[in-house]
Amino acid sequence: MSDIQIVGSPAGVEGAGFFATSLDKAVGLARANSLWPLPFATSCCGIEFMATMASHYDLSRFGAERLSFSPRQADLLMVMGTIAKKMGPVLRQVYLQMAEPRWVMAVGACASSGGIFDTYSVLQGIDEIIPVDVYVPGCPPRPEAIIDGFMQIQNLVKTESVRRRETPEYQKLLASYGIQ
Ligand code: SF4
């Protein structure tokens, strides 16, 4: 018996010879299953991500095998590891170079809150400088937790309206980070 599961079609109206759905749902489905992650890995959590990409956990199963090391060809920023305050502007620049729509995942305690490094030189969470969509707890999080976070991102992507990025709420969120 095959373990392969086929992604279901979005909700719509169907009949003999036709199927209709809304553009939002079709675009959401396509985007959610073809995310291009940019792994911004600075320390140990990055090693856990390598395991997540390798054959046993195989993130490619979610349509995300194409990692991008150029922000301009990525739509999911995965921040994994301790971010020193000196590194903050670099991370922010990478985020700014990504085109919309873009999503951000803080992987592990360090990226989410500074982790055990409650010290003057470490950023106490990347949400101090860029907006974050999903936080993955753990020090380090296991690959299962990273995959769970990735699936939370997929849910967000699937349900996001194609016009969300033009809404006043989204513009306000970016403005609160000083981003145009
Ligand atoms: S959360 Fe833990 S495992 Fe991850 S980068 Fe920080 S110290 Fe390393």
Ligand 1 pocket: which of 40, 43, 107 to mutate (most atoms <8 Å of CB)? Answer: 43
Confidence band for 24, pLDDT divided at 50, 70 and 90: confident
* Residue 25, both tokens: 């749902």
Within 10 Å of residue 63's Cβ, how many Cβ atoms? 16
CATH of range 35-176; options 3.40.50.12280, 3.40.50.300, 3.40.50.1100, 3.30.70.3170: 3.40.50.12280
Dist. CA 52 → ligand 1 center (Å): 15
Confidence band for 1, pLDDT divided at 50, 70 and 90: low
Residue ranges per domain, the chain?
35-176
Model-level pTM? 0.89
Alpha carbon distance 179, 156 (integer Å) = 22
Dist. CA 79 → ligand 1 center (Å): 11
- What pLDDT score was predicted for residue 134? 98
User: Across residues 138-166, what is the average pLDDT?
Assistant: 94
Going by alpha carbons, the residue nearest to atom 3 of ligand 1 is 140
Specify the ligand 1 atom closest to the Cα of 116. 7
Q: Report the percent of the chain where pLDDT is more than 90.
A: 80
